[in-house]
Structure 1
Amino acid sequence: MEGAWIPLWLTLKVAGCATALNLVAGVGLGWAMARSRFPGRDLLDALFTLPMVMPPTVLGYYLLVLIGTQGPIGGWLLQHFGIRLIFTWQAAVLAAALVAFPLVFKAARAAFETVDPQLEQAARTLGLGEAAVFFRVSLPMAWRGVLSGLLLSFARAMGEFGATLMVAGSIPGRTQTLSIAVYEAVQAGQDDVALFLVAITSLTSIAVLLAAGRLLPGRVAAAA
């Protein structure tokens, strides 16, 4: 049973890194979409939300095409830097980040839309630059929504299976996350290991969801 803890730590690392990526991309794009009006905005919003409804295996295939050794990104990294992304824990991070991205993006956008633009304009009138307005006015007023989205993203990243399996595989100790370890344990008839891993995953996910619900009860469901 000791080996069952390895997928847990790997999953926490993958989910943490994926959430960090979504913190930058999701919050930035959520703020930009909340404050911008331009032709094609609704289409762009739909594209950012697409990973929420698209099958994870399809997302995994897209990633495989992009970061595989023959793909435009993976091939370039391998040729110029000797970096092979496919079947690494970093590939698992990209898969988890892609699948969980809409949860941060939608929550951040909704949170920033509740911030009064007149307060931001007043800050600009007082001489603050755009970065200062964002970090000193917009983000402090929207932090609950942003944090709830990040918590939901972390929980979703912990449970990612399909896209991760396609681009990272199931290498014990290297890319085998909790959800994949559960699948492998069931396939191998190791019901005690599977039950232990399921219990860990369930308790961790419940704790994260309870924390998100306490931060912003009304918006967690809307963001999902």
Structure 2
Amino acid sequence: MLGNMPRAADPAVRLALLETAAELLARREPVTARSLADRVGTSTTALYTHFGGMPGLWRAVRSEGFVRLGRRLATVPRTDDPVRDLAALGAAYLDSARADPFLYRAMFDAAADLEDPAVADDAFALLVEAADRACQAGRFAGTSDPLAVATRCWAAGHGLAMLVVTGVLPAEALALHGPELAVAAFLAAGDEPARCRASVLAGWSADRDRRPPPG
């Protein structure tokens, strides 16, 4: 419980409201100013202090998910193997969904606008940049469109992530199917099979080693 009505904006209260709203939405429970305030342990005034009302809250919830995704993708270092890097970004994407399943689901609820649309573009741009480097390095076919490759990788990863965060598949499915989805996407883009698989496994293993412990 976070106490009574804040007199000024409080980052801890703001974060609690965001995360609680995402959780209630995912659990299909009523999301109102009163239900949020009661759950967080604050007053309904806090919602207006931090977000200006429910529409502002939902914009902030979506943006928070993309902010966390972008932060996680930014931990992936750039190496001289762009296919490895693209695979590592894919692994980081799935790990971000696993770490924040409620926010991940809310990120793609287009019923609300994003508080800052740039946060979504910035995260996706990292995938496009790695795909472009793979094309420039000759790993992908010269006719491959980096934007199209990145979009296909994102679509495949998003589908797997949603199956896991909604409970259709167990969490173990991320490590089981994620690398194979990446291999399939990169082979379709023109990479050589043996080299492709080696890069994907290297990228996946490197991200796993950097991954913070669950807690």
Q: TM range, normalised to the smaller chain?
A: under 0.3
Of Structure 1 and Structure 2, the greater helix share is in 1
What is the TM-score of this pair, normalised by structure 1? 0.25
What is the TM-score of this pair, normalised by structure 2? 0.26
Bigger relative contact order (CA 8 A; separation at least 6) = 1
